[in-house]
Structure 1
Amino acid sequence: MAQLAFQPAYEAEKALQPAKVCVTGVTGFVAGSVVARLLELGHTVHGTCRDPSRTDTVAHLQSLPGAAERLKLFKADLLAEGSFDEAVSGCAFVIHTASPYIMNVPAAEVQAKLLDPAVKGTENILSAASKSPSVKRVVLTSSCAAIYGDPHEFGKDHVYTEADWNPTASKQVLPYYYSKKLAEERAWEMAKAQSQWKLVAINPAVILGPPLSKRTDSESINLINTFLKGKAYPACPHMGFGTVDVRDVAAAHTLAMSHPKAEGRYITVAKSMWFQEMARAIKAAFPDSKFRPPITTAPKWLLAVIGPAVGLSRDLINYAVGKCPQFNNSKIQAELGFKFHSPEAAIKDQVDAMLALGIAKPF
């Protein structure tokens, strides 16, 4: 398969003897690529999901090379205490990717749908790690949402580093961002309260690249489909985000798991892009298509009117329009020898994969 051909195994990954690795939330967009890479590296994977018997959500994992011999699925619930104990037992490593990724949540449901699963899920998985003496390292899928909220909150020229923590988000403002901040903070609290296992956090921004499954509830899939369906034509929001290939994110997790010197947080962002640049990348990759990239950007007042109807939350309109955060990604490169790939190539591969899987229509 193309996983390691795209992002070859690092020396630290090659040097690590095959081990048992628990990956939570294996049906998710990021976790699929993490599982594929772990299997290709020769590890045995204990994957958790809400319902392993649902073949429509796990078939793509079970068909991966090595899965028949080295992938075992476990039923687990983020909110159920002890739910992860069996899956984690006997594992040397835990990669915790499971957490709700929902940008638009009604205010009355934020606690139940975002904050509780993110924080209590983290508590439950780390408690399971502490119960299993075999666990020596935990890699947490955090987010740049834990690092910033308003791109200009520290000044318009601020470049974000791993030292930054989101000061803007709250239960009422950018609640998804807040859920990621609270979950990572809780993880560091629990890590510092024990000495058995070491914690490393991976902090990506907008993740692009080829999905492995036909699931369409991923925000990354929704973003590209928004462009492909013409919802950003003739005008798109004037806002930008950090971007990174999902295969790079998977490699960052497995390298952070394998590298003896990995520690702390790692911003995992290849570069920042404006929405309009993402759309132009689609056209550049498919020049003979009928796809029309936006020719201008929509004014903020118009976005306030139509934004919610196209999935753009009022918080993003209030805090992100006209802004594009910048990130310093040197730590992961300097400490782990990590190499980033082009987000434009990730976009092309994502569209190709979405078309092949039937979750995007020819354009």
Structure 2
Amino acid sequence: MKPGDAKNVQLKNLEYAAERLKLFKADLLDYNSVLAAIDGCDGVFHVASPVPSGSVPNPEVELVEPAVKGTLNVLKASSEAKVKRVVFVSSAAAVVMNPRFPKDQLLDETCWSDAEYCKMTNNWYSYSKTVAEIEALEYAKKSGLEVISLCPVHVVGPMLFQKVNASSLVLINLLKGGSEQVVNHLRKVVDVRDVAEALKFVYETTEAEGRYICMAHMDTSQGLVEILRETYPDYNYPKSFKEEGNETSKLTSARLQNLGWSYRPLKETLVEAVESYKQMSILD
């Protein structure tokens, strides 16, 4: 994507963009282009990683290489540019995928997904995020570069771009899927704006270090539907919910909250997400 592409219009319309925003064309797999974008920066937020909305024909090339090699390119370029602090966006997918965890264990930052288990079960996104985060933190130890990783759960909220992403599809399918029955999954949710605040917060907080889970709420699919139905009673919601196959793993973001991060109410997140879908005619 080039800086002048139409996709960047929303970015250029942001407050103060005319004075403060500078766009670079960069390819995560092209070290020199990454360095050109980072050179002169005091801090770097590495937020880009492929998120599939369905099956991926060649996961090693389409997911793993951009996530792992791309991350290392960003970190090496940050070292070369003498960046003060890097905030790396990982995922809760790098925390929860481990069959050895007891079902009732509350998962925190000491918990890691089992990379081999992720591969064996074809959870390539989880595998890519797990390996990329391990590599990032190992690089930090060896190089002395200050790296903080943030592990968000399912990110929802108002959309900036009109293109539907994999995270939004989960909520959209609850609104208009009209399924007879769906599994009543335990959903871990955080508002996209609260994730942005968390990124800024850990970057600016001197004592922040290591790894942080970024989660605001845990509720079931049925619970989300009940909240949505209060404001939007006429959408085509699932007819019923089944408990079979429901995951039971739970997370805690106490470490990030104890540092001072806070989040908005779940209903506010859901309602403002739906309003943004309506404005973009996504729910038509």
The TM-score bracket by the shorter chain reads over 0.9
- The equivalent residue for 2:18 is 68
- The equivalent residue for 1:296 is 240
Alignment RMSD (CA, Å) = 1.7
Q: Which amino acid aligns with 2:190?
A: V
Q: How do residues 103-252 of structure 1 correspond to structure 2 at under 5 angstroms?
A: 103-106=53-56, 108-133=57-82, 135-149=83-97, 153-167=100-114, 168-170=117-119, 172-195=121-144, 197-216=145-164, 218-231=165-178, 233-252=179-198
Query: For each residue in 1:172-213, what CA deviation from the matched residue of structure 2 results, as whole angstroms up to 9, or x when unmatched?
Result: 531111110011011011111112x31111111101110111
Task: For residue 86 of structure 1, report the CA deviation from its aligned partner.
Answer: 1.1
List, as ranges, runs of 4+ consecutive aligned residues in structure 1 with deviation greater than 3 Å. Answer: none
Q: What 5-or-longer segments of structure 1 have no aligned partner?
A: 1-49, 301-320
Q: Are the counterparts in 1 of residues 104 and 248 from structure 2 also a CA contact under 8 Å?
A: no
Q: Distance in 2 between matches of 1:324 and 1:219?
A: 22
Q: Distance in 2 between matches of 1:144 and 1:230?
A: 26
Tell me the matched-pair count. 282
Q: Are the counterparts in 2 of residues 205 and 242 from structure 1 also a CA contact under 8 Å?
A: yes
Q: Are the counterparts in 2 of residues 236 and 276 from structure 1 also a CA contact under 8 Å?
A: no
1:348 matched to 2:271? The reply is: yes
- The equivalent residue for 1:333 is 257
Cα distance change, pair 214–268 in 1 and its aligned pair in 2 (3 A): same
Q: Secondary structure at the match of 1:77?
A: coil
Q: Are the counterparts in 1 of residues 103 and 248 from structure 2 also a CA contact under 8 Å?
A: no
Q: Are the counterparts in 1 of residues 156 and 273 from structure 2 also a CA contact under 8 Å?
A: yes
Q: Distance in 1 between matches of 2:228 and 2:237?
A: 8
Task: For residue 52 of structure 1, report the CA deviation from its aligned partner.
Answer: 1.9
Q: Secondary structure at the match of 1:215?
A: coil
Cα distance change, pair 103–145 in 1 and its aligned pair in 2 (3 A): farther
Q: Are the counterparts in 2 of residues 272 and 324 from structure 1 also a CA contact under 8 Å?
A: no
Q: Secondary structure at the match of 1:243?
A: strand
Q: Secondary structure at the match of 2:225?
A: helix
Q: Secondary structure at the match of 1:244?
A: strand
Q: Which amino acid aligns with 2:171?
A: I
Query: For each residue in 1:115-134, what CA deviation from the matched residue of structure 2 results, as whole angstroms up to 9, or x when unmatched?
Result: 0110011011111101102x
Q: Distance in 2 between matches of 1:139 and 1:171?
A: 30
Q: Distance in 2 between matches of 1:59 and 1:279?
A: 33
Q: Secondary structure at the match of 1:72?
A: coil
Task: Give the fraction of aligned pairs with identical amino acids, expressed as a percent.
Answer: 32
- The equivalent residue for 2:34 is 84
Q: Which amino acid aligns with 1:338?
A: W
Query: For each residue in 1:69-90, what CA deviation from the matched residue of structure 2 results, as whole angstroms up to 9, or x when unmatched?
Result: 1001101112222221111011
- The equivalent residue for 2:44 is 94
Q: Are the counterparts in 2 of residues 267 and 328 from structure 1 also a CA contact under 8 Å?
A: yes
